[in-house]
Amino acid sequence: MKKSITIAVDAMGGDGSPEKIIRGISEHHKTSKNIFYRIFGNKNEILNSIPSDLNPNCYEINHTDEKVEGSDTPLGAAKRGKKTSMWLSINSVKEKKSDIVISAGNTGALLVIAKLNLKMIESIDKPALSGLWPSKKGMSVVLDLGANIECNEKNLIDFSIMGASLFKSLFPDEKPKVALLNIGSEELKGNEIIKQTYQKLNVINHADFEFKGFIEGNNLMNGEVNVIVADGFTGNVALKTAEGTANFITQELKKTMSTSLLGKISSLLNIRNLKKFKKRLDPRLYNGAIFIGLDSPVVKSHGGTDFIGFSHSLSVCEKIVKGNLIEKIKKNLN
């Protein structure tokens, strides 16, 4: 089998691992045959989770008894040493044995261990944590989602360029439209850093993305822009607010449709539309945050997702490699 893309997989991170990780690999392999999975973790536990119909030629298991715990601090995880499944999977990318690495484990630990092993892209000061959000017109890339609490103008400009490169890698037929998340859409709104960033981006004539100015929180999902840039504090608050709102809506709708006879009849009559609505807000479909700014791509799957969610994050890995993300960032920075 031709091994065009090799994904290094930390099989021991997140809830329900390694079973959900292996089931996610199996699910992803059903539609992506040209992928090789280099799996790191406890061999016996992994073998017990592998389904009989998974092609043995599409994976290899690299055994280690050690793993990063969810309760570890980032520094504590790094001190566990170089034999954890997370460290070994990242090292596989460092040694060019794998094209990309994915883990559902401890987010802080993943960022620190990745930065210890992988170089930064030249001229990038800080890596950003980016993610995918649904919008009225498709999907948007949002960054930074928490890797950097404080950012200067250069950081935000770098995030804009990297975010646009990521969007183009994932959606090659669309043009990135970049906006800065702010408390207002007027030029005079916001702190000095974001106003200065606006002024600088406004005069950059960049062929690979269009700068659309500021965007407010209530317009994040209207689809007018598809790359939304913020510092890590603001981006993380926006992410958690959006997740909480989506959960509240689906739970309240479910309660309304199941607590009365009229509600039950209405839900039966609208079952098809309700299924579409539920799927649209299903967080598993947008699983897979990406650390960008390092010279090799690193993907973070949500620790609490199931095998379907992990399968979707593997699809993100596949698109990133096929879309030549790192090369696009380097080209756009120049």
Rg of the chain (C-alpha set): 21
Contact 41, 67 (CB under 8 A): yes
pLDDT (tens digit, 9 = 90+) per residue, 69-98? 988 898 888 888 899 999 999 999 999 999
Domains belonging to the chain, first-starting first, are 1-124+293-334 (3.40.718.10), 130-284 (3.40.718.10)
Which pLDDT score, from 0 to 100, does residue 1 have? 41
Among the listed residues 162, 84, 97, 151, the one whose alpha carbon sits nearest the alpha carbon of residue 123: 162
| Terminal-residue alpha carbon distance, the chain | 37
Greatest C-alpha distance within the chain: 63
* pLDDT surpasses 50 at 166: yes
d(CA 187, CA 194): 10
Mean pLDDT of 197-203: 91
Residue 23 pLDDT > 90:
yes
Residue with tokens 């992410």: 239
For the stretch 214-272, pLDDT in tens is 999 888 888 899 999 999 999 888 888 877 777 777 677 677 666 766 556 655 556 66
For residues 54-65, give the mean pLDDT. Answer: 94
State the pTM of this model: 0.86
CA distance 13 to 204: 41
Q: Amino acid letter at 273?
A: N
The pLDDT mean for the chain works out to 88
**pLDDT at residue 314 in the model:** 96
What is the model's pLDDT at position 68? 93
pLDDT in tens, 278-315: 565 566 776 778 999 999 999 999 888 899 999 999 99
Range with lowest mean pLDDT among 116-120, 133-137, 231-235, 251-255: 251-255
